[in-house]
Structure 1
Amino acid sequence: MHRNGNRKAGTGVHQVRLAACALLATATVLAGCERGSESGPDESTAGPSGCPEVHARAEAAVSRAEETDVSWNGPTTGPAAEPGKTIVYVAQTMTNPGVAGAANGVKEAARVIGWNVRVIDGGGTPAGIQAAMSQAVAVRPSGIVIGGFDPNSTLQQVSRANAAGIPLIGWHAVATPGPSRRPELFSNVTTRVEDVAAISAQWIIADSGGRAGAVLITDASIPFAKNKSDLIRKELATCPGVKLLSYENIPIPDASSRTPRVIASLLSRFQSRWTHSVAINDLYFADAAPAFRAAGEKGSGPPFNIGAGDGDPSAFQRINSRQYQAATVPEPLSQQGWQIVDEFNRAFAGRPASGYVAPVHITTADNSDGATTWDPSGYREAYRKIWGK
């Protein structure tokens, strides 16, 4: 089945990117975003015959991921609300839509459970984040959220918090969800990079009917991002009918200047052979849009573009208006904020972390219902019941 719908044109909105590096670099030091270079095409996925079995599995996985009326599959039991707690949310920068969205979820949940929340903005620089963490530890709160930055960049402050018995919970702080030993985190709230990578590649396989010419965009200077793109490439290679035309390494700090030039070059080289794109973050398509537009490409595609992570409001706006982005794999930011509060409540009660990891979701113009965030149902009611609120 070919999944391309009638995607009509509209108006796109560019994404704020001041801290996109930190959102992606969950397992690397913030200062590690370095300049890189483009990579050439990968010929190994070329093939003339499609992939009926792989395509069928991809169709099924994508259909599940596109569902919006899904039942809550997270925790339904846990400790009642601990009273009188104060949480400090240390933000990599509140100009990062993901960091800010998770912070807003924490604040909303804290109002329900009856806690106080203070947000300290690190301003997007290593020095600012270290200062924010020092300030957070100094006020001796009940718990600290590491919001979108690598704890290894603030090891001194993390060690002081650990020594003071202040539980730390990360949002996109390390590469994997759940508890962390080094650095010591009670839990880390994030989706699984393996799941995000796989479903974004499966969307291309499903959307193209197993016959696509794809471009993959990454920032290879960030280990987490490179790992994600390697996983995407591996999944695309399961379908012989999908050819990876080019693997482009565009460092996030250079995205606004380099992406338009790269897109123009790719359009010239591949023309109609280029049918789909996947990028490790939605922001690349904000920068790609002017080049597509200048070349006379329709906003509704081809190429049909999917962002393998983030799902900030501007990505939703591009998708809803069918302007050079067809899909994203968004984080459920508000739900993750509520989960952070619940994980703290478990820590305060001497219970283990819940172990919950949100399933991946795909947003398209056909299932977004005009929304600008992915906000699944059921979690608010479930957490209220657990907390006795």
Structure 2
Amino acid sequence: MGAAVVLAAVCLTGCARGTSAGGAVPPATGPPGCPTALAGAEAAVHRAQRTDAAWDGPTRGPRAVPGKSLVYVAQTMTNPGVAGTATGVREAAEAIGWSVRVLDGQGTPAGIQAAFGQALALRPSGVVIGGFDPRLTSQQVAKAHADHVPLVGWHALDTPGPGRDPALFTNITTRVGDVARISADWIITHSRGHAGVVLFTDASIPFARTKSELIKKELATCSGVRLLAEENIPVSDTSSRTPQEVSALLARFGDGWTYSVAINDVYFADAAPALRAARRKGAGPPFAIGAGDGDPSAFQRVNGGQFQTATVPEALTEQGWQIVDEFNRAFAGAPASGYVAPVHIATSANSASVTSWDPRGYRAAYRRIWGT
């Protein structure tokens, strides 16, 4: 569908400025700041906001291999995406008849290395690398390979699919480029091409670093959008550092700061107190979109108009089920599925009654594959 057709379809449902992007509508700012970029962004945002798409993932694969055990090594369980995916792994493991243990790396290299070492000492059938760069744990990865323990990553590499250096059976994530582009496109659409943006990122995580670079690249396609600042705050430090940084940004940019985008929704939970103290309205600027991971608290902020307007959620529970399915393929000697979930945007307009992005069909599909 062409951009003009999509725009017309959206406007038939009653669009004012920014309405097609969902959430609160900013004040009119005159003509679009970048008509060509805006048209493409509006079309992409319209597609990403759909909630009625059928399951497009795997429908074939090996039957359940019995008696397996997994250990999920988490970067930090304070990262809602990591925690949400771990919950999905537990649910799927129960469905297939396996055991799971989750070990928390506490967000530090030493903690992650210790957790991974403990995981291998448990002699599991497989280990999940949950949200951290496996190069931080090169010794543990080498030992896992020596012990013939398959590794499946979640947000462990920049790209989905099997990894070569280091070798992972597969890495599960949406495509970082898709998430980055749609987050920036939402800002372009919602602002009608006029925005002053602050980007929050964690440069210690390669996946996050790549995502933030791609967000900046897409924002730059609109001449009316300015990147005011890029704040590098480790995910493990958001609660201690974000409030002070937000206060400083408000003092520095004032009303010129109209939009925020972050590589993880958790930044907006920690930004809220400082914005509230500055007497900013929860449904007003800076309008915020999280480029991952769409945990329940993010949905609550979005649906309640509390300092977050949109999120690009990972289907965390679905991805937990995919992790288990990928291990089952590894144990059966089959290749990885190759499935990559499409991006989705959640706003108050399309998610008012839910607290997660949970697409239809995957549980039944995986159970049919496994024969459970």
| Fold match by TM threshold 0.5 | yes
Q: 1:87 deviation in Å? A: 1.8
Residue of structure 1 in register with 2:100 after alignment: 117
Change (3 A) 1:142 1:205: same
Q: Does 1:250 align with 2:232?
A: yes
Residue of structure 1 in register with 2:80 after alignment: 97
Q: Which residue of 271, 275, 278 maps to 1:288?
A: 271
Residue of structure 2 in register with 1:60 after alignment: 43
Q: Does 1:202 align with 2:217?
A: no
Residue by residue, what CA displacement relative to the aligned partner does 1:367-388 show, whole Å, maximum 9, x if unpaired?
1133222211111111111112
For residue 185 of structure 1, give the secondary structure of its aligned residue in structure 2: strand
- Structure 2 gap ranges (5+): 1-14
Residue of structure 2 in register with 1:380 after alignment: 363
Residue by residue, what CA displacement relative to the aligned partner does 1:235-281 show, whole Å, maximum 9, x if unpaired?
1111122233x123232255445433443444445444432221222
Instruction: Report the more deviating stretch, 332-341 or 282-291.
Output: 282-291
With normalisation by structure 1, the TM-score equals: 0.83
Trace 1:1-389 onto structure 2 (pairs within 5 A).
2-4=17-19, 7=24, 50-220=33-203, 222-244=205-227, 246-252=228-234, 255-389=238-372
Aligned equivalents of 2:246 and 2:79: distance in 1?
25
Change (3 A) 1:257 1:350: closer
Aligned equivalents of 1:132 and 1:254: distance in 2?
19
Instruction: Report the more deviating stretch, 234-243 or 212-221.
Output: 212-221
> Alignment RMSD, CA only?
2.4
Aligned equivalents of 1:260 and 1:104: distance in 2?
29
Change (3 A) 1:65 1:140: same
Aligned equivalents of 1:49 and 1:322: distance in 2?
25
Aligned equivalents of 1:124 and 1:221: distance in 2?
11
Aligned equivalents of 1:166 and 1:307: distance in 2?
34
Aligned equivalents of 1:232 and 1:123: distance in 2?
27
Instruction: Report the more deviating stretch, 206-215 or 233-242.
Output: 206-215
Instruction: Report the more deviating stretch, 378-387 or 364-373.
Output: 364-373
8 Å contact from structure 2 (residues 67, 98) kept in 1: yes
Aligned equivalents of 2:104 and 2:238: distance in 1?
24
8 Å contact from structure 2 (residues 272, 306) kept in 1: yes
Q: 1:3 deviation in Å? A: 2.5
Residue by residue, what CA displacement relative to the aligned partner does 1:179-203 show, whole Å, maximum 9, x if unpaired?
1111111011112211111000000
Q: 1:73 deviation in Å? A: 1.2
For residue 326 of structure 2, give the secondary structure of its aligned residue in structure 1: helix
Aligned equivalents of 1:360 and 1:141: distance in 2?
32
The count of residues paired between Structure 1 and Structure 2 equals 350
- Residue identity matched to 1:215: V
- Residue identity matched to 1:367: N
Identity %: 68
Q: 1:296 deviation in Å? A: 2.1
Change (3 A) 1:364 1:154: same
For residue 214 of structure 1, give the secondary structure of its aligned residue in structure 2: strand
Aligned equivalents of 1:141 and 1:264: distance in 2?
46
Q: 1:339 deviation in Å? A: 0.3
Aligned equivalents of 1:95 and 1:258: distance in 2?
15
Aligned equivalents of 1:340 and 1:124: distance in 2?
21
8 Å contact from structure 1 (residues 221, 251) kept in 2: no
Q: 1:323 deviation in Å? A: 0.9
Aligned equivalents of 2:24 and 2:239: distance in 1?
25
Residue of structure 2 in register with 1:40 after alignment: none
- Residue identity matched to 1:385: R
Instruction: Report the more deviating stretch, 148-157 or 347-356.
Output: 148-157
- Residue identity matched to 1:375: D
Instruction: Report the more deviating stretch, 171-180 or 210-219.
Output: 210-219
With normalisation by structure 2, the TM-score equals: 0.86
8 Å contact from structure 2 (residues 201, 262) kept in 1: yes
Residue by residue, what CA displacement relative to the aligned partner does 1:9-65 show, whole Å, maximum 9, x if unpaired?
xxxxxxxxxxxxxxxxxxxxxxxxxxxxxxxxxxxxxx9862222212111111111
Aligned equivalents of 2:151 and 2:302: distance in 1?
35
Aligned equivalents of 1:133 and 1:49: distance in 2?
51
Q: 1:306 deviation in Å? A: 0.7
Aligned equivalents of 2:249 and 2:77: distance in 1?
34
